[in-house]
């Protein structure tokens, strides 16, 4: 008498677990690369926004013989932000500065990507502007942060890399 082994079709538990582990590994690799691409896009957008501001400031100076005057040595947030109009703790908005540049820049730019600035726990959210000379603003300085420790700022800007895990960019004319 012959006996037939009846083999059931289907996957074993081990096979299913191996497939699930492989899918999990591949999805984590994809998510990490997507996060890097998002950060690069945000950094590129912020650098382009800084270039727009530098052009707007030059147009303002050509019409007014100086750059927008703000309190000496105090950084102010460029563009509109959230309700507090703040880029960072102790960096507030200046509505007259925003109005001064409004006609030289299309729309009101907004970049509120929270970027941690080190162990202090502060977040830097935007692009800030100062006029170091105070009452006669013949030069200015723009400061912004990029996500990542070794990012590239715009040309002619100074860079502090790996400041709290991010990059600090400063542009002075």
**DSSP sequence for the chain:** ------PPPS--HHHHHHHHHHHHHHHHHHHHHHHHHHHHHHHHHHHHHHHHHHHHHHHHHHHHSSPPP-STT--EEES--STT--SBTTB-B-HHHHHHHHTTSSS-------EE-STT--EE-SEEEE-TTTTS-S--EEEEEESSTT----TTEEEEEEETTEEEEEEE-
pTM for this entry: 0.73
Instruction: Give residue 15's pLDDT band: very low, low, confident or very high (50, 70, 90).
Output: very high
Residue 2 within any structural domain of the chain: no
Residue 79 included in any domain: yes
Q: Which pLDDT band, with edges at 50, 70 and 90, does 172 fall under?
A: very high
Q: Is residue 32 part of a domain?
A: yes
Its domain, for residue 54, covers: 13-172
Tally the domains of the chain.
Answer: 1
Is residue 82 in some structural domain? Answer: yes
What pLDDT is attached to residue 79?
66
């Amino acid at each position: 008498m012959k006996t037939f082994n009846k083999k059931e079709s289907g996957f074993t538990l081990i096979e299913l677990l191996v497939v699930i582990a492989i899918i999990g590994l591949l999805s984590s690799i994809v998510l990490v690369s997507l996060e890097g691409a998002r950060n690069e896009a945000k950094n590129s957008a912020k650098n382009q926004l800084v270039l727009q501001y530098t052009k707007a400031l030059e147009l303002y100076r050509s019409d007014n013989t100086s750059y927008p005057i703000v309190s000496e040595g105090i950084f102010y947030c460029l563009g509109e932000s959230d309700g507090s109009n703040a880029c960072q703790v102790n960096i507030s908005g200046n509505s007259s500065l925003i109005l001064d540049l409004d006609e030289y820049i299309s729309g009101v730019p907004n970049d509120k990507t929270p970027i941690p600035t080190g162990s202090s726990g502060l977040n830097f959210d935007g692009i800030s502007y100062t006029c170091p000379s105070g009452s006669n603003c013949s030069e200015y300085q723009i400061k912004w942060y990029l996500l990542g420790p070794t990012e590239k700022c715009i040309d002619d800007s100074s860079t502090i890399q790996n400041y709290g895990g991010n990059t600090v960019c400063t542009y002075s004319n």
